[in-house]
């Protein structure tokens, strides 16, 4: 990887963090004045401007500069935070996000125009400046001359690119004043001709004040910023601490006790500066995961071989290797886990935009964002949640006047929650809106021919709600920019099921609705039950299995075109899976699985037992196959399909 690629990745990663910080605090500021939010916005916008300038992304720098000017006016109390201004600033963050996507893909964002936003921001800034011109003229005569500063800036010794980090600091300082001199110079850092030790001396003139200057110089991987006259932090000890300590005692008159104290203090300082987090390219994690999966598969094969030949020494060695592989597997799975906040943090902005578009008042609450999911599950979860949240505000919640007329508070509530339950991750979205109207759904279902009018009245509420998951089904009266384009809950359902999850809806007319998503924490390595159906081997994920029972075939009855069986005083539907495995006589062994919150039975010939397997996707080879969630290769080397209960039944 070239240095340019390294700089670009570092720039994108840090810029996204600052971008999210700006958006998050703009939403806070929209609710009311907040000095801390204003300070956070200005700091992040300032950093974005400086970093984009140093990397040569001038279109992004120009937009960030215009936004920073407005943020500065807000910070200094020269302009009020109004709805129109927030709209323009959020539109600016949308363009910045688009630019970052372009940069991450190898572009320079020059093709993305922001001139219309820059014009709006500059117009807003100039109008505000003109309004306060008289006050400024009166006070200018009283202002003092710019201050002169001498700074010593130390880059963290663990920083991989000290020169580019120092350049970013200089760029940030230039936006606040004038750099008189620096050692090393900006040119030396850019050319790379002079080795950079990590410490930089800067003479600087600015009227922004010491705090603003310090804030501009500080940042990620900056160990310290010291002004002339301040006490310098103690430098790192040399490689031979004993000799250095002895010298310091002789030269300064320190006692041995003082020397020991100094060493202890230095050691504590060292611990604070240890690298606690590393940015790792996701492709490397995927490669590591593939290697771990290969170890799991081959470990199972070796166990079978050891069982065949019954070699004691081999059994003992394999037991030790198995423990190490298991520990490595668990460690790898934990490394791949990502907190849901990674996608939750974008939703407050979505709620705000949809509510603003629809003229609704919404109190949005997020809980359990620290709940973790594997990256493979997380990647497919963002779009379904985004769709549910938009629908919740757009279709679920009423307007303030409608809520007031029905005796509700004018502001609706939307709550997004997540937690762990019985090995799964549960994500729940609830709102206190108008609920789902059964009659409205039935009317649409009859129009589309999904059900006959005479049979509609006999359907249960759950069966009626299931119509919402039909392709293209929508009860929206009109098409809007937010929803009602025919891309409905069927897309959400299919995506969740492709993640080996399920979705359930509960609703009460006039009270609101609740969407519950049940997901496995990972899709890569799972516990399965190995079974044989019609002499063909397959695996059923354990998280979908309720029990294995031996049934009395005399208790099987026909109900319409379906078969049911009485098992433990429950009537359960039987699914023979003839389309997948061919027809055969029904077996007494029933695997009871959970489907859409209800139990049903799958007859199997043999249950071979529980096993931990690596699940590989099949879509890249043969395309999506209904009823098959992936394939696995157990110890004997056979290719075994892993059934997906959600699409199989």
DSSP lists the bridge partners of residue 366 as: 416
Please confirm, yes or no, whether 46 is among the known catalytic residues: yes
Sheet of strand 606-614, all strands in order from the earlier edge strand to the far edge: 606-614, 525-533, 536-541, 640-643, 628-632
Give all strands of the β-sheet with 502-508 in edge-to-edge order: 362-367, 412-421, 424-431, 512-519, 502-508
Which entry of 19, 46, 65, 395 is annotated as an active-site residue? 46
User: Do 166 and 189 touch, CB atoms closer than 8 A?
Assistant: yes
Residue 502 CA neighbour count, 13 Å, CB half = 17
Alpha helices in 224-281 (DSSP H): 241-252, 256-272
Task: Concatenate the DSSP letters of all residues of 414-476 into one string.
Answer: EEEEEEEETTEEEEEEEE-S----HHHHHHHHHHTTSS-HHHHTTS-HHHHHHGGGSTT----
- Rounded to whole angstroms, the Cα distance separating 42 from 628 reads 51
State the catalytic residue, choosing from 59, 68, 372, 431: 68
Q: Which of 391, 500, 543, 646 is catalytic?
A: 391
Q: How far apart are the first and last CA of the chain?
A: 48
Question: How many whole angstroms separate alpha carbon 497 and alpha carbon 493?
Answer: 6
Angle formed at CA 194 by CA 192 and CA 197, multiple of 5 degrees: 100
Length, in residues, of the chain: 649
Cα 212 from Cα 570, distance rounded (Å): 71
Q: CA–CA separation, 360 vs 399, rounded Å? A: 5
Measured CA distances, 79 to 74, 261, 402, 460, 499 (Å): 5, 52, 35, 57, 48
Q: Are 97 and 19 in contact (CB under 8 A)?
A: yes
- Would you name the residues annotated as active-site residues? 46, 68, 391
């Amino acid at each position: 990887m070239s240095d340019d690629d390294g700089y670009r990745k570092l720039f994108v990663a840090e810029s996204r963090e600052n971008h999210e910080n700006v958006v998050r605090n703009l939403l806070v500021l929209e609710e009311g004045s907040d000095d801390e939010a204003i300070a956070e916005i200005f700091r992040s916008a300032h950093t974005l401007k400086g970093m984009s300038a140093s990397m040569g992304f001038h279109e992004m720098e120009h937009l960030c500069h215009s936004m920073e000017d407005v943020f500065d006016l807000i910070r200094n109390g020269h302009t009020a935070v109004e709805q129109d201004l927030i709209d323009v600033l959020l539109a600016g963050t949308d363009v910045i996000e688009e630019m970052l996507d372009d940069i991450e893909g190898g572009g320079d964002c020059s093709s993305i125009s922001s001139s219309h936003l820059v014009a709006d921001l500059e117009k807003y800034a100039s109008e505000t400046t003109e309004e306060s011109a008289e006050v400024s003229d009166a006070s200018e005569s009283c202002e003092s001359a710019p201050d002169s500063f001498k700074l010593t800036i130390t880059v963290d010794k663990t920083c991989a690119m000290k020169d580019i980090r120092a350049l970013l600091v200089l760029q940030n300082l230039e936006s606040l004043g004038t750099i008189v001199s620096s050692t090393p110079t900006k040119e030396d850092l850019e050319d790379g001709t002079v080795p950079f030790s990590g410490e930089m001396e800067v003479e600087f003139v600015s009227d922004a004040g010491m705090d603003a200057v310090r804030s501009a110089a500080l940042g990620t991987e900056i160990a310290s910023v010291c002004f002339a006259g301040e006490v310098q932090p103690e430098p790192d000890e040399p490689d031979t601490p004993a000799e250095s300590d002895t010298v310091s005692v002789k030269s300064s008159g320190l006692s041995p006790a003082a020397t020991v104290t100094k060493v202890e203090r230095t050691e504590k300082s060292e611990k604070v500066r240890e690298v606690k987090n590393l940015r790792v390219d996701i492709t490397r994690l995927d490669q590591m995961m593939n290697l771990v999966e290969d170890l799991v598969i081959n470990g199972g094969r070796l166990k079978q071989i050891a069982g065949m030949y019954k070699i004691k020494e081999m059994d003992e060695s394999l037991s030790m290797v198995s423990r190490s592989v298991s520990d490595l597997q668990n460690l790898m799975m934990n490394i791949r886990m990502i907190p849901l906040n990674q996608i939750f943090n974008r939703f407050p902005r979505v709620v705000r935009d949809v509510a603003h578009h629809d003229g609704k008042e919404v109190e949005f609450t997020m809980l359990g964002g620290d709940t973790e999911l594997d990256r493979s599950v997380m990647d497919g979860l963002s779009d379904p949640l985004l769709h549910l949240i938009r629908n919740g505000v757009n279709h679920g919640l009423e307007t303030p006047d409608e809520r007031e007329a029905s005796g509700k508070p004018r502001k609706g509530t939307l709550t997004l929650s997540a937690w762990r339950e019985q090995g799964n991750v549960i994500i729940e979205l609830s709102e206190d809106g108008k609920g789902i109207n059964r009659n409205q759904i039935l009317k649409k279902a009859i129009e589309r021919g999904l059900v006959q009018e005479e049979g509609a009245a006999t359907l249960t509420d759950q069966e009626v709600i299931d119509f919402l998951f039909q392709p293209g089904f929508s009860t929206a009266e009109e098409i809007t920019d937010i929803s009602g384009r025919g891309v409905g809950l069927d897309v959400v359902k299919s995506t969740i099921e492709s993640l080996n999850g399920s979705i359930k809806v509960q609703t009460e007319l006039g009270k609101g609705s609740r969407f519950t998503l049940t997901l496995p924490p990972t899709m890569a390595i799972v516990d399965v039950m190995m079974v044989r159906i019609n002499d063909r081997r397959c695996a059923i994920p354990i998280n979908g299995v309720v029990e294995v029972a031996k049934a009395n075939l005399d208790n099987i009855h026909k109900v319409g075109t379906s078969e049911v069986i009485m098992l433990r005083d429950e009537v359960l539907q039987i699914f023979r899976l003839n389309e997948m495995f061919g027809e055969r006589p029904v077996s007494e062994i029933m695997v009871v699985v959970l489907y859409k919150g209800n139990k049903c039975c799958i007859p199997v010939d043999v249950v071979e037992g529980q096993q931990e397997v690596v699940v590989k996707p099949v879509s890249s080879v043969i395309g999506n196959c209904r009823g098959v969630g992936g394939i696995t290769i157990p110890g004997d080397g056979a290719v075994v399909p892993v059934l997906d209960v959600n699409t199989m039944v």
